[in-house]
Structures are given as C-alpha cells and as structure tokens.
Amino acid sequence: MPVDFNRLIEKHLHRESRPKRVGYYYPSEAGNCMRKSWYSYKYPQPLDPKKGKYFYLGNLLHDFIAEVIENPENTEVRLLEKEVSLKIPQPEFMISGRIDDIFVLTADGRKFILEVKSTGQSLGWMKSPQDAHVMQIQLYMHSHEVKEGVILYVDKNSLESRWFEVRYDPAVAEGVIARFAELDRLLKAERLPDPEARQRPEWAWMCKYCEYAQGFCVVNKS
Ligand code: SF4
C-alpha cells in the first residue's frame, strides 16, 4: 500500500500545543491528578497522536449528541446553550475556558447541565460516574447557578448510553476551587504535589494514560 493512512490521520490531527500560563486554569483539569497538572505547566509535552485521535472521536460524539438534541422532532429536551464558556475569577488566579462537552438544557420545565463523555468502557459495569467528571460538572453548575446535572456516557463502539444524575453541592464545588488554589500555590512555590493518582486506588487508572509516568513521576519523588 503506497499510503500510510495512520500517519495521514495523525498529520491531519496534529496541533501545536500552546504552553500553559501559571495562574490560568482550565475547568477540564478539575479532576486530574494534581501532580500531572503541575507537570503539564512546568514541562509541557507534545500531544500523543493516539490521544489526539481519542479527543477527536470525543468531539465527533459530542457533535452527534448536539444533533440529537437539536433535531426539530425532539420535543423532550430543549437546548439553551452549547459550547459553554466558564469564568471563575479568584483573587490570585483565574479558572476559565470554553467547554465543548457541556450543554445547558431544559426538560419538564427544569434547567440542567449535560456533560457528555465518550467511553470505551462497558456501560453495564458502570456503577457511578468518575470522580473527575463529577468534579467538572459541579464546577459548571456552580458557575452557571444550575442545581441539576447529568453526566452522559456514550459508548463509542455502539452509541449505547448510560447517564447519572448529579445534584449541585456547593461544598464539592468549593472543594474543586480549593484544589485549583492549591495547584496555583504549589506552582508558584515550585513545589511538586503528591502523586495523587498513585495514592488513591480509584484514581490509579490515570497513571496508565499519563505522559509523565515515565521519567518524571518516580515513586519516591515528592
Ligand atoms: S504517573 Fe500517576 S501519580 Fe504520577 S503524575 Fe501521572 S497520573 Fe499523577
């Protein structure tokens, strides 16, 4: 075969990653291992082509859900906002970003936030949403003053879905903002955070996908 289509797709998806500025934090980072976020500011890495493909698939699925919601024949749920912007200014730093996996919707006269996540995991085994996704949706509900949320997981192999309702909890949202404050403090103090994902069994899966697992995040370094 004269053409390597894998390479062609990777070339098409390749984007230069822009370095992050300390003091400006992205809402999508809310539930990341704090050490990984810290490294991403200090030692930015080029995006792994495999991850680029995964993100692109996620965007395609997001567009598909937008199409489902915006179908004129859909009378069950109405779109109020998509590609939502978020800004949570704090005295020392700013949490802000445009979030394309979030929709603001109404159904039965109730307003809620929908967070769409593509997954390759078996939906049948899924008993609860991931901590990181709960943290993100709490932040979105907080900034948009919405009390109800739904995390929708869509199986990228079958388009089957499973969803979890999440009620706004100001304590959780404040906790997420406090995590950003801690990240900000440690970045400015040049101090490495604890390897959270290694320390919390339910977060251990993050290390498998972490570009800093080799060469940076050695077990005893703190
Ligand atoms: S390897 Fe694991 S603990 Fe270390 S930075 Fe990455 S996600 Fe965090």
Does the beta carbon of 212 sit less than 6 angstroms from any atom of ligand 1? yes
Task: List the chain domain ranges.
Answer: 21-191
Place of tokens 């300390």: 22
Of ligand 1's atoms, which has the minimum distance to the CA of residue 34? 8
Does the beta carbon of 197 sit less than 6 angstroms from any atom of ligand 1? yes
Tens of pLDDT, residues 39-57: 999 999 888 888 888 888 9
**134 CA → ligand 1 middle, Å:** 20
Does the beta carbon of 177 sit less than 6 angstroms from any atom of ligand 1? no
User: Nearest C-alpha to atom 2 of ligand 1 is from which residue?
Assistant: 207
Q: Please determine, for residue 103, whether its predicted confidence score (pLDDT) is greater than 80.
A: yes
The dihedral built from the CA positions of residue 17, 23, 27 and 32, taken in this order, carries a sign that is positive
Query: According to the model, what pLDDT value does residue 219 have?
Result: 57
Tens of pLDDT, residues 163-222: 999 999 999 999 999 999 999 999 999 999 999 999 999 999 999 999 999 989 975 444
Does the beta carbon of 198 sit less than 6 angstroms from any atom of ligand 1? yes
Query: According to the model, what pLDDT value does residue 65 have?
Result: 94
Closest CA to 137 of 117, 151, 127: 151
Does the beta carbon of 34 sit less than 6 angstroms from any atom of ligand 1? no
d(CA 214, CA 135): 27
Q: What is the mean pLDDT of the chain?
A: 91
DSSP class per residue in 63-109: HHHHHHHH-TT--S-EEEEEEEEEEEE-SS-EEEEEEEEEEEEEETT
Q: What is the band of 33 on the pLDDT scale with cuts at 50, 70, 90?
A: very high
CATH of 21-191, one of 3.90.320.10, 3.65.10.10, 2.40.160.40, 3.30.70.20: 3.90.320.10
